[in-house]
Chains A and B, each alone.
Chain A
Amino acid sequence: MKKIFHGKKVNSNLICGKPMKQILLVGNPNTGKTTLFNSLTKSNEHVGNWHGVTVEEKGKEFDCNGQKLMLVDLPGIYSLSSLSYEEQVAIDYIRAHPKTKIVNICDLNNIQRNLSLTLGLLELGADVILAVNCMDKKPLNKIDAQGLSRQLGIDVVQINAEKGWGFDMLKKSILKPFSPSSRPSYVKSLPLKQIQRDNFLLNKYKFDEFSLIKILEHDEFIFKEFDLDYQSLKLPEDSIALVANARYNFISQLQKKYIHSSGKIYGKSFIDKIILNRFLALPIFLLILCGIFYITFFSLGAWLSDCLNHLLDISFGEWIEKFCFNSFGESSWITHLLCNAVVGGVGTVLSFLPQVVILFFFLSLLEDSGYLSRVAFASEDIFGKLGLSGKSVYTLLMGFGCSTSAVLTARNMEDKNSKIKTALLTPYMSCSAKFPIYVVIGGAFFGANNIFVILGLYLLGLVIAVFLSYILEKTILRSKEQSFILEFPPYRISGPKRLFNVLWENIKLFLIRVGSLLISMNVIVWILSNFSFDFSFVPSSNKESMLEGFGKILAPIFVPLGFGSWGIASALIAGIVAKEVIISSIAMFNHIKNENLIGESLFIESNMVYFPGPSSVLAFLVFALLYCPCISTMAVLSKEIGRKWTFLGIVAQFIIAYVVALFTYNVFGACEKFGVLPVLIVFLVFIIIVVSFIKISSAIKKSKCCANCDKCKK
């Protein structure tokens, strides 16, 4: 099986000691680069109808008519100057590989705009193949490929990246020997010689035409490389617009001869009148989210989960138990390990497979539909006030699926502070791994009302993220001005092949995660909870287990939150590796082999994991939601925003989790004791006092006079 290389490792693949010949996939965002990459390399990399799905370079070997080549998929760019981090990744890669063939993918529906990048690549003198991707049955444009090819001096191939049309022609073009393209004719009309004449400084270096164009465009890369300051240079007024006008005038000439346009607007749809209605847009989005959560967690998802749980119990569980009893005996430690760690621990999490898969399925549908750009637009005002951008919606929504992959998408942000903020807020979203905790533990205490508890937890994560973002924006992470320049893709419905791939990939990933990480973690937790420090088996020796020893040290920290048993403390520590481990550890500690029985075991005081009442359960759920990201998310956070911010983020998360859980335990505890109404009255009085205090103090500040104090009298 060929391996996909990510990031800097792409360059490390060798053939006979030499780096493998690379082919770069370059194009505007959302033109089908990754779809082409998947088709040519037979991979299943993540795609979506949203700009910036690919955030780092990735390469894989592919067979090009018998020759082995490395195909490199790069993040989407609009030109060879960047506005965000993922764009810089692509531009750096292109500039670092000057003698590499580039397959420039254009969307046929929007070729006029896409050709601007093609011209930028030709200005660079790169060897370019223009692959025009026709994604729809009725495209908005038609092209004369041969005419375009003649005019641009490069191969122009029409393809369908998903279905594989035109790949033979594309592969033939790829195999042609490397030949740098000639620069487009309009380059001669640009004042390149003039700026060399006017600026003596520029004659110190031998700038080629591409570098001079970039100087006209005030490109930071060139100024940094040659230690130039554009303010000290004498450049024509509006030189940036001058270059852009030259490119687009050239495109207009091409359009007249070789592109036949239908005149329709790309991405425009009659549904947008409702979807983008100023007052309906956000309620519609919330309704859609509620619908997704309901289907995933309560109707279809819950039913499928029950069926799988039943199936696992009567087939897998009973079979292993019988096998162990017969082979090793009832009291053997092997029987204990297999029945507790594998059947109990892993089986409990495995039954949530349908719900996790359904959630990812719906998130993929949303991502493919083109609707998320509309949501980003609708929520831009609210997110803008919090120092984020509407583009953060994508990252936060992906956080409901998996925080690790969601954090990576924060690279879409335009400035560093927005990127750090978005990445730090992502772990506050309830990822799919936390869901089993809510269902099993919440369900035991709240029954049918658990739907409101789960909804409340999802909302709580969101509210805390929003609140934190506001504080960060006002204090240490003030964002620079966001442009919110975002292209609107057309609405699309995912094809059956794509839907099958999404389902299959998520089932595979879940099973791999359960089969590797979860089993190994469960075995470690089992060993720690069943062997004492002198390594004697605890159930037969009645000594204190290693985990009990550690857990008892930490348990007092959680006493004020209402769940001070060492079993819960140990489960929370184990959950740092992966959140699913919390529920599998609880099942193991209480010797449960079926998910449905965990709930009952939590009421029994003699069990290792025991909750005295609903308020302690609520505090536990709140704490589990907020206390810290899993290890893989921490690693990605550290890579993306640095160790300092990751450390601060984790510490802040723990403190916030503790404070909110403490508040929850005490408020709900008081409600249990005195009733809801008195607590509500006290709460309202408290809020009135605080608000009045703030209002009075701000009024005093505004009047700049403290009534009749001595200073004012004087």
Chain B
Amino acid sequence: MFSLSSAKKNKSYCIVGYDKNLSIKILRRLCDLGLTIGQTVIVTNYSLLKKAMLIEIRGYLLSLKIDIAKRIIVK
């Protein structure tokens, strides 16, 4: 298990949990957007300095900061 931020581009991963340091507001928003436990996620792109990433989740595209991705645990 590792964080989503270290996931390889264009490979599928399964969300297994969240870091305890993830703020409640952000965790709630991620859950609202479907980043729920057991869900498959694919990293499709990174920004210039790799501070933000683009992911495929539940059939749509979503960008998030790498600092947030660091707190999403995948396998």
A residues with a Cβ closer than 8 A to B are: 78-79, 81, 83, 110, 112-113, 116-117, 140, 217-218, 238, 240-241, 243-245, 248, 261, 263-268, 272, 276, 278-279, 281-282, 373, 376-378, 380-382, 384, 390, 481-488
Interchain CB contact under 8 A, B65 and A488: no
Assembly CA distance A261 to B59 (angstroms)? 9
Interchain CB contact under 8 A, B34 and A484: no
From residue 49 to 64 of chain B, which have CB atoms closer than 8 A to chain A?
Answer: 49-52, 54, 56, 58-64
Q: Which residues of B contact A79 (CB under 8 A)?
A: 28-29, 32
Interchain CB contact under 8 A, A83 and B25: yes
Interchain CB contact under 8 A, B45 and A276: yes
Q: Which residues of B contact A267 (CB under 8 A)?
A: 60-61
Q: Which 3 pairs, one residue from A and one from B, show the smallest C-beta to C-beta distance?
A: A244-B31, A488-B61, A381-B49
A-B interface contact total, Cβ < 8 Å? 136
Could you list 11 A-B pairs, sorted by A, with CB under 8 Å?
Answer: A78-B29, A113-B34, A116-B34, A217-B28, A238-B18, A240-B28, A243-B31, A266-B60, A268-B44, A382-B48, A485-B62
Interchain CB contact under 8 A, A381 and B51: yes
Instruction: Answer whether A488 and B67 are a contact pair too, CB < 8 Å, given A113-B58, A240-B27.
Output: no
Apart from the given pairs A381-B47, A382-B48, 20 other A-B contacts in the complex at a CB distance below 8 Å = A79-B32, A113-B33, A238-B37, A240-B27, A241-B27, A241-B31, A244-B31, A245-B37, A248-B36, A267-B61, A268-B44, A380-B52, A381-B48, A483-B26, A484-B52, A484-B64, A485-B29, A485-B30, A485-B62, A485-B63
For residue B41, CB closer than 8 A to chain A, the reply is no
Assembly CA distance A215 to B32 (angstroms)? 15
Return B66 CB to nearest CB of chain A, in Å. 9
Assembly CA distance A83 to B34 (angstroms)? 16
Assembly CA distance A268 to B59 (angstroms)? 9
Return B20 CB to nearest CB of chain A, in Å. 10
Interchain CB contact under 8 A, A483 and B47: no
Interchain CB contact under 8 A, B46 and A278: yes
Assembly CA distance A485 to B54 (angstroms)? 10
Assembly CA distance A378 to B68 (angstroms)? 17
Assembly CA distance A281 to B48 (angstroms)? 9
Question: Which listed residue (A272, A377, A483) contacts B68, Cβ 8 A?
Answer: A483
For residue B1, CB closer than 8 A to chain A, the reply is no
Interchain CB contact under 8 A, B62 and A81: no
Return B60 CB to nearest CB of chain A, in Å. 4
Interchain CB contact under 8 A, A482 and B65: yes
Considering the complex, give the chain A residue whose CB is closest to the CB of B60: A266
Q: Name the residue in B33, B39, B46 with the highest tally of chain A Cβ atoms < 10 Å from its Cβ.
A: B33
Return A501 CB to nearest CB of chain B, in Å. 28
Interchain CB contact under 8 A, B45 and A487: no
Instruction: Answer whether A276 and B54 are a contact pair too, CB < 8 Å, given A116-B34, A241-B18, A241-B37.
Output: yes
Q: Name the residue in B17, B31, B67 with the highest tally of chain A Cβ atoms < 10 Å from its Cβ.
A: B31
Q: Which residues of B contact A278 (CB under 8 A)?
A: 46-48
Interchain CB contact under 8 A, A244 and B61: no
Interchain CB contact under 8 A, B62 and A279: no
Q: Which residues of B contact A264 (CB under 8 A)?
A: 59
Bitwise interface map of B from 4 to 25 toward A, beta carbon under 8 Å scored 1, else 0: 0000000000000110000111
Return B14 CB to nearest CB of chain A, in Å. 14
Question: Which listed residue (B25, B31, B32, B60) contacts A110, Cβ 8 A?
Answer: B60
Return B11 CB to nearest CB of chain A, in Å. 15
Question: Which listed residue (B49, B56, B58, B64) contacts A485, Cβ 8 A?
Answer: B64
Considering the complex, give the chain A residue whose CB is closest to the CB of B39: A248
Interchain CB contact under 8 A, B34 and A266: no
Return A216 CB to nearest CB of chain B, in Å. 11
Interchain CB contact under 8 A, A268 and B61: yes
Assembly CA distance A483 to B64 (angstroms)? 6
Interchain CB contact under 8 A, A116 and B45: no
Considering the complex, give the chain A residue whose CB is closest to the CB of B18: A241
Assembly CA distance A112 to B33 (angstroms)? 10
